[in-house]
Homo-oligomer: A and B are copies of this chain.
Amino acid sequence: MNVEHYADAAISKIAAAIGEPARARMLYCLMDGHARTSTELSVVAEVSPATASVHLNRLRMERLVKVQAQGKHRFYSLDGLEVAGALEGLSVLAGGTRSKFVPSTPSRLRAARTCYDHLAGAVGVSLHDRFQALGWISAGAKDRAGAYELTIGGTRAFEALGIDIEMTRALRRRFACACLDWSERRPHVGGALGAAILKLALKRKWVVQDLDSRALGITNYGRREILNRFGLRV
């Protein structure tokens, strides 16, 4: 086996991994920072699940994506910010001066949107910051990067809003974690707690879901509620 150890060879392998339409579509889709299953990505890439699996395996070999098993699902996501950085470098070339991939999405996506199953966009980030400022959540232990602990006050507050924390904790997934929002470049609340918050916001009609996109519309009622309850003007 001929081991290549020159930088240009390493670059070419990585670029080749990106340079296949189906794989590029997957990576581009994952640039919003959240994980997706191989089936979801096969739809995005417009290939069969079998083909998507092969592609994802290759991307994993090249350290472009990482995978996290969760029950019978396997969630794929970009393996680090450097990967997003490299993709952005390429997109600068791709788009000429009109780069900036995220702003190319409708601007309403920036205000509020779903990120897999939780609340993202400017609203998601604002809430995240507010929850921290109010002392409802706090950064978890060092060894569990990005995880959040719920404080006693936070538990009471979320319960008061109508979220069943005990049941949320019982779900087989990370309870609460920092999910990096690519357009905002700042984290919002992900995990089971994030999902519960989105569910609540939808149930209470603070936001309404766009059927064929990840965009969320904030209702006037929701705007008032968020201002009153969290002191946030959105």
**Which of A's residues lie within 8 Å of B, judged by CB?**
7-21, 23-25, 27-29, 62-64, 82-83, 85-95, 101, 104
Contacts and interface: CB of A to CB of B under 8 A. Distances in A.
B101 A92 contact: no
B95 A85 contact: no
B88 A7 contact: no
Interface of A is mostly: helix
Contact of A11 (B16, B28, B62): B28
A29 B17 CA distance: 21
Nearest to A24: B12
B86 A92 contact: yes
Contacts of A12: 18-21, 23-25
A36 to B, nearest CB: 15
A87 B92 CA distance: 12
Contact of A63 (B16, B18, B83, B93): B93
Given A19-B13, A19-B19, A91 B7 contact: yes
